[in-house]
A and B are shown apart, each in its own frame.
Chain A
Amino acid sequence: MEERGMNARIKALRKVSMETQPHIDLERAKIETEVYKKYEGKVSLPVLRAMVLKEYFSKKTLYLGEGELIVGEKGKDPQSSPTFPELTCHTIEDMHIMHNRSVVNYTVTDQDLKDQEELIIPYWKGKSMRDKLISSMTHEWRKCYRAGMFTEFMEQRGPGHTCGGKNVFTKGYADYKEEIQAAIDALDFMNDPEALQKKDELDAMLIDCDAVMTLGQRYQRLLKSEAARCEDAVRKAELEQMAANLDVVPAHKPQTYWQAIQLYWFTHLAVTTELNPWDAFSPGRLDQHLFPYYEKDVEDGILDDERALELLECLWIKFNNQPAPVKVGVTLKESGTYTDFANINTGGIKEDGTNGVNAVSYLILDCMDEMRLVQPNSNVQISKKTPHRFLKRACEISRKGWGQPAFYNTDEIVQELLNAGKTLEDARQGGSSGCVETGSWGNEAYILTGYLNIPKILQLTLYNGFDNQSGKQLGPETGYAWDFATYEELWDAFAKQLHHMVDVKVRGNNVIEKLYANYMPAPCLSIVTNDCISNGKDYNNGGSRYNTRYIQGVGIGTVTDCLSAIKYNVYDKKNFTMKELMTAMDENYVGHEDILNMVQNKTPKYGNDDDYADDIMQDVFTLYRDEVTGRPTMCGGQYHVDMLPTTCHIYFGEVIGATPNGRLARKPVSEGISPEKFADTNGPTAVIKSCAKMDHCSTGGTLLNQKFTPSAIAGDTGLENLASLIRSYFAMDGHHIQFNVFDKETLLEAQKHPDDYKDLIVRVAGYSDYFRNLDEELQNEIINRTAQSF
C-alpha cells in the first residue's frame, strides 16, 4: 500500500488506520446492558441514556497510539465499531454474516459471539428500536418495504445528519453546564405542563457534560503518566503538552488551535457513541472555526503551518479510524460502505456573507490531497466570492481522480435554506453533511428517512398497481397502461401511485419519529445543537431551532427516460403499442431487438440538453417535490426532498424488471440526478444543462457525478475548463458536482462491456470521442497511454 503523510509520524498512523481490519467491539454494548439492567425504570429515559454514555466514558478502554497528537477512539482501538443493541440487536446469524461477507465485513471473534449470545441477546431481544419499529409498521408498509419500494433509515441507526456550529469550538462542557443549569432554574413548574419532561432532559444533558469531561480527565491522567515514563525528550514534551491541553478542554473554551481540534474530537466521540446517528457528526465550517485560533497561535509564535497541517492530518486519521456502524440486510444495501460520511465543508461564506476562505482552508486542501482518505469525506463550498485560486487548487486535487473534493454551491445552498424557512444568518452557516443533504449547522435536525424507488412506482403504474417482481398488489388499482388512450392518462395514474407510496412511507416515518422521540433521546447531541437547551427538549423530539425530514428520490434519470420512451414511441410516433412494449419488457427484450433499439438509441433521453426529455424530468421532479414538500413531521418540522442515492440505486435496480427505456431487468437505476448510464451522449455541458433544469433551490440537495479521463482535463487548460464547468453549473443553481477520473482498470472494463460505458468520453488526440466508438487497437493505445499519464 502506498505510504502517505507529511512525515514519519503521520505515515505510521495512517498505515495503522488503513491496514487494520474493521472489527466489532462489544465493550459499549456490555456496559450499556449493565446500566440498563441496573437503572431501567428507576430513572427517566433521557437520564438513563446519559448514564450509559457516562458509564462508558468512565470505564471504556483508552487507546493511545504511537505518536498520536489527538487522542480518543469510539471503541477500544482504531477500526473498532461499537455496537448499539438498543437500536439493533444483532442475531448470531447477523454476526456470522458481517464476519464472512466478502465486502464491508467486520471481524467478529469467538468471544464476541459468546458475549452476544450470553449477555446482549438475552436482554435486548425484542426490545431494540428495530424490533419496536418493525412491529409498529402496518402490513402495507412491510409489504412495500420488502418489495423495495423504499428503505428506512432509522431501521438500524439513529437519526442524525447534523453538523456542529460555532459552539462546538467556542464552548467547553463546564460552560454548557452553566447554561443547562440556568435553563433548569428557569423552568416554570407553576404553568408549564412539560416542565418535568424538560427537567429530565436537562438533567440528562448535565450528566452528559460530566461524561465528556470524565473522558478528558482520564486521558489527562494517562498522558501524564505516559509522559513521566517516556524517555524520548521530544515525545515527552508532546505528551506533556497534550496533557496540559486536557487541563483546558473539554471542560473549557480552547485557548489554542491544538486544543480546539482536541475539543472537537471529544464532542465527535460523544455524539457518535451516545447513539450511532446516520452520517456520524461533522465539524461544520472547520476552517472558519479554527482560523481565529490559528491566527492567534501563529502571532504568538507557538504554531507554524507545518504543525497546523500535522494536527489536521492527525484529525483526518481519527476520522478514518472510525468505520461506519455495522449494517446488515437492506440497510447495508442502501449504504454498502465502511464510510460513515463525516463530511467536511471547506470554503463558502461567513455569517456576514463575505468570503469564508482563509489560510486554514488551504491547509485543509493540502491535508486532503496528502492524506487521500475516504473519511472524512471532504468537499469544498464554492460561492461567487470564492477566490479563483481556491477553486483551482480544489480542481487540481479533484482531477487526481479519487472523487474528492466534491464541489458544493454555497449561494444555492443559502437559497435552499431560506426557502426552507431559515434566517439569512443561519442559512449562510449551512451546507451539506453526510452525502449532499443540506442543513443549518448547529441549529437543525435534518434527518434523512429513506430512499424512494421512483422507477418502481412507474412500473407499478403500468401494471395496475401490481408488482410483478414480488407478485403483490402494492399500489391502488389505477388501470393497465395498455388501456390508456393518452400519455396524460398514464401520467395521472403515475401521480396517484406516487401519492399513495409517499403516504405509506410518511405514515411509517411518523410512527418512527415518535418512537425515537419517546424511547431514544440524544441528550449529548442536544447539548451542542441550538436551541435544545433553551427549549428543554431533545434533538430527537423537535428541540432544535429547525426540524426537517427528507425523503430521498432515486432514479429520476431512469424514470424520465422511461416516460420519454413511452410518450415518444407509443403516443407521439406510434412506433409500437403499449402492449408490444410491455410484452418486450416482460421478456427482458429478448427477441424484441427492434423495440429495444428504438427505446435505447432513437428516443430523446435526459442528459442531452434535449427539452423533449428534460421537460419530462421537470414534470417528474415537480410532481415528487410537491408531493413531499411541506408535509408536517411529528415534531413540528416539515418534509423536503433530496435527490441522492448513496448505493441504493443498485439495490433498487435489483427489484425492478426491464423498464420502458431499455434498461434490462435487475440492472441498477440511475444515481442522484445523473442521467441513465447509457443515455447521455452529448458531453458534460449537455449533462450539466439538463441537470440544471431541475429547480435545485427547492430541494434539500442533489447529487451529480461526472466522468472524465485524465487526459480530457489535463494541463493548466484542463484545470481552467474544469473550473469553468463548475462555475457555470453553479451559476445555473446546481447544488453539487463531483468528478470521476477514469483509470486503466475502468477502461479495460469498458472495453469488455462497452454497453455499460456508453457515455465514457476519452481524449483521443486532436479530438475527443466516445470510448465505445473506438477500434480495439485504438482503445488499447489509449489504455496504455492513460496508464502512463498517471
Chain B
Amino acid sequence: MHAVTNIQKYSIHDGDGIRTTVFFKGCHLRCWWCHNPETQRFEPELQVDTEKCTGCGRCEAACPADAISFSEDHKAEIDRDKCIVCGRCADVCVGNIRTLVGRDYTVKELVKICLQDQMFYEESHGGVTLSGGEVMAMDIDYILALVRALYREGIDVTIDTCGQAPYSHYEALLPYVHTWLYDVKVMDHEKHKKYIGMDNNVILDNLKGIAKAGARIYIRIPTVKEVNGDRESMAAIIDFLKANDIRPPQVNLLPYHSTGSHKYGKLGREYQAADLTTPTDEELESFVKQWNDAGFANVKIGG
C-alpha cells in the first residue's frame, strides 16, 4: 500500500525551504477536521465535483460497472457500491470534474519527480516531505527504499506524521530522515478518542522513541478550540515534552480551518467538524507566550 494522492511542488509550509510534498493515501486516524479526507482511506477513490456536472452523459456511457445514473437535475450520480474505481469516467469527462484519487508510483518514478526541483531545494535549504494520509502506515519497505534513494541523492527528507504506526517503521527510517513533523493533538485520552478516533498511546510512545534516538523533530499542533484550544491542554503537551526531555527546534500551532470541508461531498461523505471553531488570534498569541514562557523559543502560528 503506497498510493499517492498528490505531489505538490513549491510546497512551502511542510518543513524548511522550498519542498516537494508527496501525499500518500491511507491513515488510521479519523480526525474530525481532516482537510485532506481523500487521503484517509487506503484504497483509490473517485472524487467528483457534482455541482459542476453539465449532464452530458459521457461518463454514463463509459462506465463498465453501470454505476452512474442521472438525477432529476441532470447531475451524474455514482452508486459507490457498484463503482469499481477504474477511472474511465474521469478520462472522458469534458468538464474535468472527476478525479481518480490514488495512484501507484515505482520508487524510481517518484525519485525522478522529486529530483526535478533539486536546484530549488539546494538554494532554499528545502527538500522532499513525505506526508499523507499517514506515510508511516504505508508499506514500509517501499517507503524505506524511497527515503534511502532520496538520501543517496543528497536530498533532505522530512516526514510529516501523526505518529500512529508501528515503531519498527520509525526505527527503520531514522538514519535517513532530516526532520520529522510530528503531530501532537491532545493529551486527554477521552478527547483524543472522541475527535481522533483512537487513543494516543502509540503516538506518544513513538514520539518518545524517536526523540530518544536523537531525531530532529518539529512539533505540530492542530489547534481547535473545542479540542485543545485552552491553556490546560497546551500545558499538558508542554509537560509531556519536558518530562521526556523533548526539545523541538520548532513548534507550530496550526489553527483549525474548515477549508477541507468541500472535499467531503465530492467523496460522498459527511463532514463532522462543522461545529468546531478556531481559537481567536488573541488566544493563539497567548498560547505562543505560554510556550515561550515554558522555554520553547521558536513557536509559530501556522505551518
* Residue B273 interfacial (CB < 8 Å): no
Q: CB-CB contacts of A674-690 with B at 8 A, as 1s and 0s?
A: 00000000111110110
The answer to whether B35 and A721 touch across the interface, beta carbons within 8 angstroms, is: no
When C-beta atoms are compared, the residue in chain B nearest to A597 turns out to be B94
**Cβ proximity bits A515-557 to B, threshold 8 Å, 1 near / 0 not:** 0000000000000000000000000000000000000000000
Contact status A767-B116, CB under 8 Å: no
Which of B238-263 touch A at CB < 8 Å?
254-255, 257, 259, 262
Is the contact region of chain A dominated by helix, strand, or loop, or is it mixed? helix
- Asked if A775 lies at the interface with its beta carbon under 8 angstroms from chain B, I say yes
Stretch from B117-125, B162-170, B203-211, B286-294 that touches the partner: B117-125
The residues of A that contact B65 with a CB separation of less than 8 Å are: none
1/0 contact string of A722-744 vs chain B (CB within 8 Å)? 00110110011000000000000
How far is it, in angstroms, between the C-alpha of A187 and the C-alpha of B35 when the chains are bound? 81
Instruction: State how many angstroms separate the Cβ of B113 from the closest Cβ of chain A.
Output: 9
| List of B residues within 8 angstroms of A596 by Cβ | 94
Can you name the residue of chain B whose Cβ is closest to the Cβ of A688?
B120
Name which residue of chain B comes closest to A684, CB basis: B10
Q: Does A721 lie within 8 Å of B12, measured CB to CB?
A: yes
Task: Pull 23 A–B residue pairs with CB atoms less than 8 Å apart, ordered by A.
Answer: A601-B96, A602-B91, A609-B116, A683-B9, A685-B10, A685-B117, A686-B10, A688-B120, A689-B116, A689-B119, A720-B17, A724-B18, A724-B123, A724-B124, A727-B123, A728-B124, A731-B123, A764-B259, A766-B35, A766-B257, A767-B35, A768-B8, A768-B13
Cβ contact within 8 Å between A685 and B9: yes
- Name the B residues within 8 Å of A178 (CB-CB): none
Q: Does residue A789 face the partner (Cβ distance < 8 Å to B)?
A: no
- The verdict on A778 contacting chain B, using a C-beta distance below 8 Å, is yes
Please give the residue numbers on chain B whose beta carbons come within 8 Å of chain A beta carbons, in ascending order: 8-13, 17-18, 35, 56, 58, 91-94, 96, 116-117, 119-120, 123-124, 126, 254-255, 257, 259, 262, 302-303
Check A685 against B35 for contact (C-beta < 8 Å): no
The answer on a CB contact under 8 Å between B12 and A718 is: yes
Chain A residue numbers with a CB within 8 Å of B259 are 764-765, 778
Q: Would you give the 0/1 interface string for A608-628, flagging 1 where the beta carbon is closer than 8 Å to chain B?
A: 010000000000000000000
Within the assembled complex, what's the spacing in Å between the Cα atoms of A683 and B120?
13
Contact of A725 among B8, B93, B120 (CB under 8 A): B120
**Nearest CB of A to B96, in Å:** 5
Q: A685-B18, A685-B117, A721-B18 are in contact. Are A766 and B262 (CB under 8 A)?
A: no
Tell me the smallest distance from the CB of A779 to a CB of chain B, in Å.
Answer: 10
By a CB distance below 8 angstroms, the chain A residues around B56 are 593
With A594-B58, A765-B35, A766-B303 in contact, is A720–B262 under 8 Å at CB? no
| Apart from the given pairs A685-B116, A717-B12, A766-B13, 19 other A-B contacts in the complex at a CB distance below 8 Å | A593-B94, A594-B58, A597-B93, A683-B8, A685-B10, A685-B18, A686-B116, A718-B12, A720-B17, A721-B18, A721-B124, A724-B18, A731-B123, A732-B119, A764-B259, A765-B255, A766-B254, A768-B12, A774-B262
Could you say which residues of chain B place their CB within 8 Å of the CB of A686?
A: 9-10, 116
Q: How long is the Cα–Cα vector from A765 to B96 in the complex, in angstroms?
A: 25
Compute how far the CA of A265 lies from the CA of B257 in the bound complex, rounded to whole angstroms: 55
Q: How long is the Cα–Cα vector from A287 to B173 in the complex, in angstroms?
A: 52
CB proximity to B under 8 Å, residues A748-790: 764-768, 774-775, 777-778
* Interchain CA distance A601-B123 in the complex, whole Å: 32
Q: Which residues of B have CB within 8 Å of A684?
A: 10
With A689-B116, A727-B123 known to touch, is A767 a contact of B13 (CB < 8 Å)?
yes
Chain A residues touching B, range: 20 to 34
**A725–B17 CA distance with the chains assembled, in angstroms:** 10
Interface residues of A in 672-728 (CB under 8 A from B): 682-686, 688-689, 712, 717-718, 720-721, 724-725, 727-728
| A724 x B120 contact (CB < 8 A) | yes
- In the docked arrangement, what's the CA distance between A609 and B7, Å? 13
Q: Which chain A residues numbered 473 to 516 have a C-beta less than 8 Å away from chain B? A: none
Interface string of A585-617 (1 = CB under 8 A from B): 000000001101100011000000100000000
How far is A588 from B10 in the complex, measured between Cα atoms in Å? 35
CB-defined contacts of B254 to chain A, threshold 8 Å: 766
Q: Which residue from chain A places its CB closest to the CB of B113 in the assembled complex?
A: A609
Contacts of B9 in A (CB 8 A): 682-683, 685-686
**A-chain residues with CB within 8 Å of residue B8 when the two chains form the complex:** 683, 767-768
CB pair B262–A778 under 8 Å, yes or no, is yes
A725, B123: Cα distance in complex, Å: 8
Minimum C-beta distance from B101 to chain A (A)? 13
CB distance from B291 to the nearest CB of A (A): 19
The residues in A between 344 and 389 inclusive whose CB is less than 8 angstroms from any CB of B are none
* Bound Cα distance A717, B17 (Å): 8
Interface centre among A594, A717, A724, A778 (most CB of B within 10 A): A724
Closest to B7 in A: A682
A731 to B121, CA, bound (A): 13
| CB-CB nearest in chain B for A682 | B9
Q: Which residue of B lies closest to A774 (CB)?
A: B262
Kindly report which residue of chain A lies nearest to residue B93, judged by CB atoms: A597
- A720's closest neighbor in chain B, by CB? B124
Within the complex, the shortest CB–CB distance from A576 to chain B, in Å, comes to 13
Scoring B12, B18, B56, B91 by chain A CB atoms within 10 A of each residue's CB, the highest score goes to: B12
Write the nearest CB–CB distance from A614 to chain B, whole angstroms.
Answer: 11
CB distance from B35 to the nearest CB of A (A): 7
Give complex CA distance A728, B18 in Å: 11
| Distance, CA A684 to CA B12, complexed state (A) | 12
Identify the closest chain B residue to A686 (Cβ).
Answer: B9
CA distance A596 to B93 in the complex (A): 11
Closest to B91 in A: A602
Residues of chain A within 8 A of B11, CB atoms compared: 767-768
Q: How far is the CA of A732 from the CA of B45 in the complex (A)?
A: 39
Rounded to whole angstroms, the CA-CA distance of A731 and B8 in the bound complex is 23
Query: Is A685's CB under 8 angstroms from B120's CB?
Result: yes
Cα–Cα distance between A775 and B119 once the two chains are bound (Å): 34
Q: How far is it, in angstroms, between the C-alpha of A721 and the C-alpha of B126 when the chains are bound? A: 10
Chain B residue contacts of A724, Cβ below 8 A: 17-18, 120, 123-124, 126
Q: Please, how many angstroms separate the alpha-carbon atoms of A777 and B274 in the complex? A: 14
Q: Are B10 and A683 in contact (CB under 8 A)?
A: yes
Contacts of B58 in A (CB 8 A): 594
Give Cα A97 to B276, complex, Å: 60
List of A residues within 8 angstroms of B17 by Cβ: 720-721, 724
List the B side residues contacting A609 at CB < 8 Å.
116
Nearest Cβ distance between residue A149 and chain B, in whole angstroms? 33
CB-based closest 10 A-B pairs: A724-B124, A683-B10, A597-B94, A765-B257, A775-B262, A593-B94, A724-B123, A728-B123, A683-B9, A685-B10
A119 nearest CB across to chain B (Å): 60
Q: How far is the CA of A594 from the CA of B54 in the complex (A)?
A: 13
Complex Cα gap A688–B119 (Å): 11
B127 to chain A, nearest CB (A): 12
Q: Which residues of B contact A718 (CB under 8 A)?
A: 12
User: Which residues from chain B contact A689 at a C-beta distance below 8 Å?
Assistant: 116-117, 119
B122 to chain A minimum Cβ distance, whole angstroms, is 8
Q: Tell me the bound Cα distance from A601 to B96 in angstroms.
A: 8
Shortest beta-carbon distance from A752 to chain B in Å: 15
Question: A597 to B89, alpha carbons, bound, how many Å?
Answer: 13
Closest to B49 in A: A773
A597–B95 Cα distance when bound, in Å, is 8
Q: Is the CB of A728 within 8 A of B35?
A: no
On chain A, the residues within 8 Å of B303 by CB distance are 766
Note all chain B residues with C-beta closer than 8 A to A720.
Answer: 17, 124
Q: How far is the CA of A593 from the CA of B120 in the complex (A)?
A: 38
Contacts of A597 in B (CB 8 A): 93-94, 96
